[in-house]
Amino acid sequence: MKSMNETQSPIELAIFQNTIHSIAEEMGAALRHTSISPNIKERRDYSCALFDCQERVIAMGDHMPVHLGAMPMSVKAVVDSMSLEEGDIAILNDPYAGGTHLPDITLVLPVFIGDSSKPAFYAASRAHHADVGGMHAGSMGPAEEIYQEGIRIPPIRLIRKGVMSHDILCLLLANVRTPGEREGDLGAQIGACRVGERRIKEVVAKYGLAKVNDLVEELLAYSERLMRAELRNMPAGVFTAEDFLDDDGVTEDPIRIAVAITFNPADGSAEIDFSGSSPQVRGSVNAVYPITYSACFYMLRCLLSDDAPATTGLMNSVKISAPLGTIVNAQLPAPVAGGNVEASQRITDTLLRALAKAAPHRVPAASCGTMSNLTVGGVDHRTNTPFTYYETTAGGMGARPNMDGIDGIHCHMTNSLNTPIEALEYAYPFRVRSYGYRRGSGGAGQFHGGNGLVREIELLAPSQVTFLCDRRKFSPYGLAGGEDGAKGKAQLIHPNGATADLPGKCTLHVGKNDVIRVETPGGGGWGVARS
């Protein structure tokens, strides 16, 4: 581990850190403003990052944690599978080749400086596409193998030497329900990568490549020093926890996630071991290794201050063990749509539960613990064209050791927003009948857990509706004597007033004017409630 290079002052490093972070942020802004789908434009379900020539992440936008921690593996998968040239852009979504789940499509652009034959940097953008084919509209339904979940894209060139590979694009668009929307969102991702390319070249033109490379090395070393210093303050020992996913949508069996975190303060290192977690399952809640890595990256990043650089250096002192063939490191052909959205949340809950034993006054109670995924697809009667709607629904944040949790907010591995009612009703054949806080759903305690949400959507056209949700059987846990948060639930309400409770993982065809009601979990309470 290096000390501060004598040729680089802390001020110079801070300026560089903020400069390249602003590039990743600008990439995200470009993607958001030029995208087509409400899921990206309104909900901001995307992430952008910059990487050095060794595929190490050097800057992340303040985007989606579940995307960002895994993106280095996508870049590595691209570099390992092809020799990129000037003007190329690679595309992939394969969870078994650097991806996370099929709706998350990643583009990787190599950045060449001068006449070098090898890239000096990489710019990458990842976005959740509201449909990538498969059995269910929205590509997020129950499945028993990945081939049912949508089109699987290995690392391939979408653009070669500046020219779109139209054969590849046509193949992709022929396998999705909303090709125009997909093409528009891919174009926005291409633009975002080119913004990153242009801006990093401007930085190199200002400082020179040698200087920039020195600053990159120092930034990575600085990140490692920060993490090691934090881990030296943790108590020595092994801290364990377990939590459960409700089921996989195929059987009713709960799915165990177990973790043991070992802190070694002597050298500022940590080991995270998921041995004892359940084997991979038939349903679509399996997580591939990049998801588990992302959750660990997120948990450790939360230990540091807001201004700490989120780079590969943070993980240099950390070892992760995730046994192959388990729920936290699934093997082909396991379906994984829910691993990205549901298993990722439960892995995070389990990590934080273990961390709370080591640092009880720093860790909040469990948040809602589910992204409460809702997808709807059909034919829009207004345009007579297919539509696919996808959204994660916010829940309650867990209470903290010094204050209440927050009501109705996306927590942990998601950092998205909601789709505003106006945008929702404009884009889809929907009518929002109610949208508000689920009062009393947060766990009681010295500090109260945040409340979940209640949302009712009337469907104005016959539709296929799919839920991929959790925390229906196992409540978000409280800490330090705080009570658990309320579990989530959903209902189908017919025009005649008849209602039916819906399981957390299901798909069904509904009629015109049927209403979907979603109630998301509240966060756990923290501390014993005062009488």
Give me the pLDDT at residue 101, please.
95
In the chain, pLDDT over 90 holds for what percent of residues? 94
Q: Is the pLDDT of residue 62 over 90?
A: no
In a domain? residue 486:
yes
Neighbouring CB atoms inside 10 A of 506's CB total 16
Query: What is the token pair recorded at 26?
Result: 């600008």
In a domain? residue 327:
no
Domain boundary among the residues 166, 189, 223 is at 223
In a domain? residue 300:
no
Note whether 45 and 63 are within 8 A (CB).
no
Q: Report whether the peptide linkage leading into residue 333 is cis, meaning its omega lies within 30 degrees of zero.
A: yes
Q: Is the pLDDT of residue 65 over 90?
A: no
In the chain, pLDDT over 70 holds for what percent of residues? 98
User: How far is residue 71 from each of residues 38, 86, 157, 192, 448, measured CA to CA in Å?
Assistant: 23, 21, 17, 15, 35
HSE of 420 in the Cβ direction (CA atoms, 13 Å)? 5
Q: How many helices (H) and strands (E) does the chain have?
A: 10, 20
pLDDT in tens, 221-239: 999 999 999 999 999 999 9
pLDDT in tens, 397-415: 999 999 999 999 999 998 8
In a domain? residue 282:
no
> What does the alpha-carbon distance between residue 61 and residue 64 come to, in Å, rounded to a whole number?
8
Q: Is the pLDDT of residue 6 over 60?
A: no
User: Whose CA is closest to 347, among 312, 305, 297, 307?
Assistant: 297
Phi first, then psi, for residue 97 (nearest 5°) are -145, 50
Give me the pLDDT at residue 58, please.
97
In a domain? residue 197:
yes
Note whether 392 and 424 are within 8 A (CB).
no
In a domain? residue 527:
yes
Those residues with Cβ within 8 angstroms of residue 353's Cβ, 6 or more apart along the chain or in another chain: 241, 242, 243, 366, 477
Full domain range(s) for residue 18 = 10-223
> What does the alpha-carbon distance between residue 162 and residue 153 come to, in Å, rounded to a whole number?
20
Those residues with Cβ within 8 angstroms of residue 268's Cβ, 6 or more apart along the chain or in another chain: 227, 228, 229, 230, 231, 232, 317
Give me the pLDDT at residue 2, please.
46
User: How are beta strands 269-273 and 318-321 bridged, if at all?
Assistant: parallel
Return the HEC string of 167-212.
Answer: HHHHHHHCCCCCHHHHHHHHHHHHHHHHHHHHHHHHHHHHHCHHHH
The SS3 of residue 214 is helix
Query: What is the token pair recorded at 286?
Result: 């399996």
Mean pLDDT of all residues in 462-475:
97
In a domain? residue 286:
no
Tally of domains in the chain: 2
Give me the pLDDT at residue 8, please.
66
Q: Work out the pLDDT band at 98, boundaries 50, 70, 90.
A: confident
In a domain? residue 249:
no
Note whether 136 and 507 are within 8 A (CB).
yes
pLDDT in tens, 279-329: 999 999 999 999 999 999 999 999 999 899 999 999 999 999 999 999 999
Note whether 291 and 405 are within 8 A (CB).
no
Those residues with Cβ within 8 angstroms of residue 505's Cβ, 6 or more apart along the chain or in another chain: 142, 247, 248, 249, 283, 284, 285, 338, 467, 468, 469
> What does the alpha-carbon distance between residue 132 and residue 128 come to, in Å, rounded to a whole number?
9
Note whether 479 and 364 are within 8 A (CB).
yes
Domain boundary among the residues 223, 254, 269 is at 223
> What does the alpha-carbon distance between residue 71 and residue 282 come to, in Å, rounded to a whole number?
26
> What does the alpha-carbon distance between residue 243 and residue 218 come to, in Å, rounded to a whole number?
38
Q: Work out the pLDDT band at 1, boundaries 50, 70, 90.
A: very low
Domain boundary among the residues 207, 223, 239 is at 223
